[in-house]
Amino acid sequence: MGRHESLTSNQSINSFLFSGPIGVGKKELAKTLALEFFDSTQSIIYVDMSKYSEVDSIAQLIYAPSDYIDYGSLIAAVRRKPYALIILEDIEKAHRHMLHIFSQILTDGYFINENSQKVDFKNTIIIFTLKIDTPLIFEENENSLSTTENFDEASFQSIKDHMLKQVHSCLPSEFLNRLDGIAFFHTLNSNQLSSIVHLQLKSLEEHLKEQNITINWTDNVVQSIFKKSYKPAHGARPLREYFEKHIAAEFSKFLNDMKVEPNNHIAIDIDSDDQYKFHIQEPTSAS
């Protein structure tokens, strides 16, 4: 689907709210949308809204006075990238007046600054993210981790209803009514987290193919990474950080120390001390 036919409708802007705990895939879904609609993650404009909690900070994001070259960062970014996916993270931390400004942008499809310059948002997709951490979500998550099943329908509906109340307590109806939709993200269960470990290992495998090096790993490795990195309140984020530090970085050091050559195969396993070990299998001779 081309970007022009996707976004040229009577509707001003495509806008959504992604709500849920951290580390559950809100940004990853946004990246997928950027690839789908704009063919590249380079189309993403990212803004941390926690930096704009004070009324004096609004000008830094929206307005662009002539004597402040760094001001108006969002407006300048949209001018450079009129076809863009805009991620406004932690919108609940922004000053309330900022929500009023975004409500007007969502209604009109454009913004006019103090210099009467008009900036068109009609070819953008705007995703607001809202972090919701509640005991109910984590309680259900702990229950789900003890099984390989997803939340049942009743449990998920209960969590969704709870999150919706949180959304309405954080954001005004004037703003919410202008959104095209709200997506709710719940915490990840053990199967989903194990799948993320596999994806991390697959990514490492793909990277090594460029050097003609192959790898394999045992289920014990996957379970060890999962158990040592899992933190209920942070979703998949600690898992990725742990993988980078204890697998990717150590593996890179191993390659350098052992002077691993192309066409080698490396097995990853767990030793008797519950430590990761890397074992080189010599290349097979050409026939």
SS3 268: strand
| Confidence (pTM) | 0.71
Nearest-angstrom CA–CA distance, 261 and 134: 50
pLDDT in tens, the chain (287 residues): 334 334 444 455 799 999 988 888 888 899 889 999 999 889 999 999 999 999 888 888 886 554 444 445 888 899 889 999 999 999 999 999 999 999 999 999 999 877 777 899 999 999 999 998 655 555 555 555 444 455 566 777 777 888 889 999 999 999 999 999 999 887 777 788 888 899 899 989 988 988 899 999 999 999 999 889 987 667 788 888 999 999 999 999 998 898 888 888 999 999 989 899 999 976 555 44
CATH number of 3-184: 3.40.50.300
Tell me which of 1.10.8.60, 3.90.420.10, 3.30.2390.10, 3.40.50.150 is the CATH number of domain 190-281.
1.10.8.60
For the chain, give every domain's residue range.
3-184, 190-281
**Nearest C-alpha neighbor of 170 from the set 8, 31, 34, 49:** 49
Each as own residue / partner, the long-range contacts of residues 71-75 (CB below 8 Å, 24 or more positions apart, any chain) are 72/113, 73/47, 74/45, 74/47, 75/111, 75/113, 75/119
